[in-house]
């Protein structure tokens, strides 16, 4: 059984209208979006309704994100995302007894525009699949019915980010300090590798390996 099948088989099927909430976590460049999209496609092929949400669509505005400076690890850790809006628009509607009326975004990071799309109504039993960094923060960790952490060393994630974003491929380069140090803090304080239901090695994103679960 490959890693995607393994995760899909672990997603609970609840009685009634309750919706399973699934987190795909990992550092920048770990392959979270690719994995979450593939998981959603697999679930739909198995006739399970799915809503896909990315935490990257819940960024704070640039003014908030960079209030401590563009190189600040503390700023990246504390100010990158609008967790309050994410909680209101996504986690509350999908929690047990929730309305299932959700929004998939509150901000366009390219144009730095605040968004307020019309709420959508999910079908009963819809699987919520969320990808993003920091999804095992203390304020989010108990929100998931199942969570995955994609474990990839920084030397590899930095290489992928360089290909994707044009950033420096050296994780120890000063321009990478904002991102790498914030994620090291996350590992120390929140231990997402331990909190996750399933731990997957994703250094080779074509052949992820389940390490625990």
pLDDT tens profile 44-96: 999 999 999 999 999 999 999 999 999 999 999 999 999 999 999 999 999 99
Return the higher-pLDDT residue of 206 and 18: 18
Is residue 204 situated within a structural domain?
A: no
In which domain, by residue range, is 96 found? Answer: 1-8+17-127+169-191
Q: Is residue 181 part of a domain?
A: yes
Q: How would residue 203 be classed by pLDDT, with cut points 50, 70 and 90? A: very high
CA 3 to chain centre: 17
* pLDDT tens digits, 148-184: 999 999 999 889 988 898 898 888 999 999 999 999 9
- CB atoms closer than 10 angstroms to residue 155: 12
C-alpha–C-alpha distance, residues 145 and 20, integer Å: 6
Contact 134, 79 (CB under 8 A): no
Residue 86 belongs to some domain of the structure:
yes
Q: Are strands 113-114 and 107-108 parallel, antiparallel or unpaired?
A: antiparallel
Q: Is residue 152 part of a domain?
A: no
Q: Distance between CA atoms of 213 and 205, rounded to whole angstroms? A: 18
Percent of the chain having pLDDT more than 90?
90
Per-residue confidence (pLDDT) for residue 170, from 0 to 100: 87
Higher-scoring residue by pLDDT: 1, 49: 49
98 or 206, higher pLDDT:
98
Residue that has been written with the tokens 């690719």 in this structure: 34
Task: Among 110-119, 124-133, 154-163, 185-194, name the one with the lowest average pLDDT.
Answer: 154-163
Q: Beta strand pairing status for 209-212 and 198-201?
A: antiparallel
pLDDT score, position 6: 98
Give me the number of domains the chain comprises: 1
- Mean predicted confidence (pLDDT) in 203-213: 93
Q: Is the pLDDT of residue 111 over 80?
A: yes
The rounded distance, in Å, linking the Cα atoms of 11 and 213 is 12
- Asked if residue 208 is part of any domain, the answer here is no
Beta strands in the chain (DSSP E): 21-25, 50-54, 101-102, 107-108, 113-114, 120-121, 127-131, 146-151, 198-201, 209-212
Mean pLDDT of 131-160: 96
Indicate whether 56 belongs to any domain: yes
Structure tokens given for 157 = 């994630």
Rounded mean pLDDT, 13-39: 96
Residue 146, domain member (yes or no): no
Per the domain annotation, does 3 fall within a domain?
Answer: yes
The pLDDT score that the predictor gives to residue 15 is 86
Please choose, from the candidates 4, 96, 94, 90, the residue with its C-alpha nearest in 3D space to the C-alpha of residue 43.
4
Closest CA to 34 of 180, 154, 208: 208
Sign of the CA dihedral 161, 90, 141, 44? Answer: negative
Res 205: pLDDT: 84
* CATH number of the domain to which 88 belongs: 3.40.50.300
Does position 1 have pLDDT exceeding 80, yes or no?
no
């Amino acid at each position: 059984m490959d890693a995607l099948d393994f995760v899909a088989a672990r997603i609970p099927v609840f009685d009634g209208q309750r919706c399973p909430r699934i987190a795909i976590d990992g550092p920048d460049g770990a392959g979270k979006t690719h994995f979450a999209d593939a998981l959603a496609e697999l679930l739909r092929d198995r006739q399970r309704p799915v809503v896909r949400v990315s935490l990257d669509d819940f960024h704070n505005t640039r003014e908030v994100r960079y209030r401590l400076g563009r190189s600040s690890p503390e700023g990246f850790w504390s100010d990158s995302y609008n967790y309050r809006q994410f909680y209101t628009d996504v986690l509350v509607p999908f929690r047990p007894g929730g309305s299932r009326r959700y929004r998939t975004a509150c901000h366009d990071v390219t144009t730095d525009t605040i968004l307020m799309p019309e709420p959508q109504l999910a079908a009963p039993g819809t699987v919520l699949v969320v990808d993003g960094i920091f999804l095992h923060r203390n304020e989010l960790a108990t929100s998931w019915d199942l969570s995955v952490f994609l474990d990839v060393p920084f030397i590899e994630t930095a290489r992928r980010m360089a290909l994707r974003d044009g950033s420096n491929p050296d994780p120890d380069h000063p321009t990478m300090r904002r991102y790498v140090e914030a994620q090291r803090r996350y590992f120390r304080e929140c231990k997402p590798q331990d909190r996750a239901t399933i731990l997957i090695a994703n250094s080779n994103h074509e052949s992820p390996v389940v390490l625990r679960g």
